[in-house]
Structure 1
Amino acid sequence: MGSADFILVINLLVAGLLAAAFAAIAVHDVGRVSARWLAFGYLLGMAYFAIEFSIPAFADARLPVVMAFAVFLGATIAFNGGLAHKYGVTPPWAPMLVFLAVASAAVYLVQDLPRYSLTRMLAYQLPYAAMQCTALGIVLSSRQRLDHLLMLVLAASALQFASKPFIAGALGGWGANPQSYVQTGYALVSQSLGTVFGLALALLALAILVRDVLAEAMSKSETDTLSRLLNRGGFERHAELALRDAVRRGVPVALVIADLDHFKRINDSYGHACGDRVIETFAGLLREAAAEHHVAGRIGGEEFAIILPGTNLAAARLFAEGARSAFGGLPIEGLPADHRCSASFGVAELATDEDFPDLLRRADEALYAAKNAGRDCVRVSLGTARRQFPAAVSGRG
């Protein structure tokens, strides 16, 4: 067994391991379509290496050569489909499959050209380069955060496919016939390059998928199922990050805490299903009112909090007043038409040399002041030196 044969066997085994890895992700998360396509792509990669390894056994290698080309090009198409699903782009299946058919026919036809014809070599390699460029375009056109290292490797991989005909010429060609290909120096270089770029792309795609799986698992662990806001642990973690970022940028940051009024009475009088709908309604109101950079969470049974980076005390109070007024006018299924739900609010702005627990404590004190003032109102904490809770502009307090 020559060096190129040995690399082919290694590539076959590596493709199998990668197919198994992507399949494991697909089994773990059945909704992750990208992993299924990537697993299929590396299964096709295994088939390609098996065909390449068997070519010397054929007297007429035209069909095995074309089959190997088509299978490997199909593997790159499946890889592109996986990337498209991962990055939220509609996979261009029809153009890619038409391209597969046309390119395979072209490779079949150029088999009659001289073995060292540049046209023949380009017909074999350029379609691979085109599919790598397609993958690059998929990542670039996505609306998600771009993975720049993946883009760089895709561009380099496309370049190495386009340069292979010239590498073959520099190394004395790719054999007098398909059967002798694996004995050439070019075969060793070509298979080695394929191993490096194929493995790099696979590991990057695998790392990106694993990163996404872990991020989603963390997000689920930090999300309250009923309200679909952050739970207390998730809110505190994200709030700490938001506060540090606001301090770093030198912008104000405020915290609003809300507590649904007479919530136990609602549960006792109308049932827990109605109570759940009240929580869902208020959480939906917060989600609609919050900007993308705000951090909202359900931090207790009927208690909510929202961090407002870039917002001072006056603006945060207006936010709370708006939420209070809007919530009071929302109809809630299961409750009498004349039943008006309300919430009390406490507001505080981060002071110099204050941390998140201090801010949370002051906002909580303001909330209790609102409760003591008769509920359905907003109270603010004016600072760390003195605790003053002026009457709200509106509300029953």
Structure 2
Amino acid sequence: MGGAGFLLTVNFLIAQCFCVFFLAVSARSRNRIAARWFAACFATASLSALFELLVAYVPPPKLWAILAFASVLGGMLMLRIGLGHLYGVKASRPLLAAIFIGSILVDLAVYDTPRSSLWHALPYQTPFAVALGMSAWAAWRAGMQSVVDRALVVLLAVTSAHFIVKAFAAVLVGSGTTASDYLTSQFALFSQSMTAVLIVCVGLMLLCVLVLEIVADEKVNAEMDALTGLLNRRGFDNRFQALMAKRGVHSLILCDLDHFKAVNDTYGHSGGDAALRAFGEMLAAAAPKDALVARIGGEEFALFLPHTGRDAAMLFAQALRATRALSPVPGLPPHLRITASFGVAELGERELPRFAMRRADDALYAAKSAGRDCVREAEPPSVVLEIVRTSN
């Protein structure tokens, strides 16, 4: 086996590895259909390596040569379908089928022409360039959301163009007199070397896109409360500090369900969960679009209201309190009313987040001490800061 045959074997193994990688990624990716199409793409295209070897050693060579061409082209068209699922740019299956069948017919027509002529090389390589060009166009049309997406577009475009370059290289270098001579030609060594590099680059780039999405999804899941669908404490804290740094007047509301332990003791954890879900849904429905809404503890919730002063925040908290006090909880007895207590703090300019949380928490504690089912306003930032300095 010559150098080209060795590279064919390497390319086959690389493609099979990527097939396995994409199948593994599909188990965790929200784009699992796209990942499976990518796996099918590499698995199908890798068959060309086997067919190319059969061309040299098992007659009839024409059959294996056509199958090698068809497997590569079929894999590339599968890539276009996968990218359509990944980026939401659907591929026309009839068009892809027409390109596939038409290209095979063209390959059959030029098969017996001199292999080192443009009449053979250009019609042979052009369908590959078209297939990958369609994939590059689909990724570009999707909007190129990140650096990785843009890099994928460039890589696909370069890979598409390289097939046209290969057509001229086949003429200049020579690809053998017959299909059986291909493995011993200098062009085969060049072609398979370039293919190995591009297989790795395209495969890694596609994996990068999918893995980054998985990481982003895991980050979102880590910052979400599974019961209510709101932010959890980590998600709230990660956003709270950044929003506080923005200019303007902001307010923070902490709220806590009253007598929640009694609800759990009487109606079980399912009843408590129903109360938490109902309260979370109420907060999410009532809060402005730019607000942060989170469940930061067992029965404790937080709302960050950007560009909202103390008066508006107090009115908003009172409206929430009245709504909760008058609304039944789905899944619990219709007569049961679960109230909540609220602490409101207007945030001081350049105030540290922990001081803001402390002031709102003190106001919430005051509401609890006042008999619950009420709203209390926090002390100004200067008062809390002085208390902290005195205690230290």
Q: What's the TM-score, normalizing by structure 1?
A: 0.83
Residue of structure 1 in register with 2:300 after alignment:
303
| Alpha-carbon shift at residue 200 of structure 1 (Å) | 0.9
The correspondence of residues 277-316 of structure 1 with structure 2, limited to 5 A, is: 277-290=274-287, 294-316=291-313
Once the 2 structures are TM-superposed, how far is the Cα of residue 66 of structure 1 from its aligned partner? 1.7
- CA distance 1:143–1:178, change in 2 (3 Å): same
Q: 1:168 pairs with 167, 170, 189, which one? A: 170
- Give the superposition deviation at 1:173: 3.6
SS at match of 1:300: coil
> Structure 1 residues 233, 244: CA separation in 2 closer, same or farther (over 3 Å shift)?
closer
CA spacing shift, 1:226–1:121, aligned 2, 3 Å: same
What is the CA-CA distance between 1:373 and the residue it aligns to?
3.8
Q: Name 1:36's counterpart in structure 2.
A: 36
Give the letter for the 1:223 counterpart: M
Equivalent in the alignment of 2:152: 150
Range with greater deviation from structure 2 (197-206 or 221-230)? 221-230
Question: Would the aligned equivalents of 1:346 and 1:378 in 2 still touch at CA under 8 Å?
Answer: yes
Relative contact order (alpha carbons < 8 A, sep ≥ 6): 1 or 2 greater? 2
User: Is the partner of 2:173 in helix, strand or coil?
Assistant: coil
Whether 2:329 is the aligned partner of 1:332: answer yes
Could you tell me whether the CA contact under 8 Å between 1:88 and 1:143 is conserved in 2? no
| Paired residues of 1:267 and 1:275 also in contact (CA < 8 A) | yes
**Percent of pairs with identical residues:** 36
Kindly state the Cα deviation for residue 338 of structure 1 after the two structures are TM-superposed: 4.3
1:131 paired residue number:
131
- The answer as to whether partners of 1:246 and 1:252 remain within 8 angstroms in 2 is no
Task: Count the aligned residue pairs.
Answer: 383
Letter in 2 for 1:97: A
Aligned match for 2:351, one of 342, 349, 354: 354
Q: Given the alignment of the two structures, is residue 367 of structure 1 paired with residue 364 of structure 2, yes or no?
A: yes
Deviation of 1:280 after TM superposition, in Å, equals: 1.0
Work out whether 1:196 is the aligned partner of 2:182: no
| 1:385 CA drift (Å) | 0.9
Letter in 2 for 1:258: C
Q: 1:320 to 1:106 in 2, by over 3 A?
A: farther
Name the structure 2 match of 1:96. Answer: 96
- Is the 1:243–1:253 Cα contact (8 Å) retained in structure 2? no
Aligned to 2:259: 262
Q: Please say which of residues 69-78 and 374-383 is displaced more in the overlay.
A: 374-383
- Give me the whole-angstrom Cα distance separating, in 2, the residues matched to 1:47 and 1:3: 19
Equivalent residue of 1:48, what SS? helix
Gap change, CA 1:141 and 1:339, over 3 Å in 2: farther
Measured in 2, the distance between the counterparts of 1:17 and 1:128 equals: 22
Measure how far apart 1:279 and its partner are: 1.0
Once the two structures are superposed, residues 218-256 of structure 1 have per-residue CA deviations (whole angstroms, 9 ceiling, x without a partner) of 4333332211223323433x23xx423552x54554432
The question of whether the paired residues in 1 share the 8 Å contact of 2:342 and 2:364 is answered with: yes
Q: Indicate if the aligned counterparts of 1:26 and 1:35 stay in contact, CA closer than 8 A.
A: yes
**Contact 1:174–1:187 (CA under 8 A) maintained in structure 2:** yes
Contact 1:243 1:309 in 2 (8 A): no
What amino acid sits opposite 1:181 in the alignment?
Y
SS at match of 2:111: helix
State the partner residue of 1:224.
Answer: 225
- State the partner residue of 2:382: 385
CA RMSD of aligned residues (A): 3.1
Deviates more, 1:208-217 or 1:322-331: 322-331
* Matched residue type, 1:83: L
Counterpart-to-counterpart distance in 2, 1:377 and 1:174: 85
Question: Are 2:342 and 2:375, in contact at CA under 8 Å, matched by a contact in 1?
Answer: yes
Q: Mark the runs of 5 or more structure 2 residues left unpaired by the alignment.
A: 385-392
Listed one character per residue, the Cα deviations across residues 37-61 of structure 1 (whole Å, up to 9, x for unaligned) are 2222222232122212322224543
State the Cα distance separating 1:368 from its structure 2 match: 2.0
Flag the 1:277–1:71 CA change in 2: closer, same or farther, 3 A. same
User: More displaced, 370-379 or 61-70?
Assistant: 370-379
Deviations 1:24-44 (A, max 9, x none): 323566983333222222222
The aligned amino acid for 1:257 is: L
Kept in 1: contact 2:230–2:294 (CA 8 A): yes
1:94: how far off? 4.1
- Aligned partners of 1:87 and 1:144 also within 8 Å: no
One-letter code aligned to 2:136: L
Displacement after TM superposition at 1:321 (Å): 4.2
5+ residue gaps, structure 1, are: 388-397
The 10-residue stretch of structure 1 (343-352 or 67-76) with the greater mean CA deviation from structure 2: 343-352
Q: Distance in 2 between matches of 1:43 and 1:283?
A: 47
Aligned match of 1:244: 242
Q: CA deviation at 1:384?
A: 0.9
In 1, distance between residues paired with 2:315 and 2:168?
68
2:363 alignment partner AA = A
Cα 1:74/1:315, change in 2 over 3 Å: farther
Q: Secondary structure at the match of 1:227?
A: coil
Letter in 2 for 1:306: L
- Range with greater deviation from structure 2 (225-234 or 275-284): 225-234
List per-residue Cα deviations over 1:89-130 (Å, max 9, x = no partner).
Answer: 545444323322222222222324443443433332222222
How does the TM-score come out when normalised to structure 2?
0.84
Instruction: Check conservation: 1:81, 1:91, Cα contact below 8 A.
Output: yes
Cα–Cα, structure 1 residues 288 and 198, in superposed 2: closer, same or farther, change >3 Å? farther
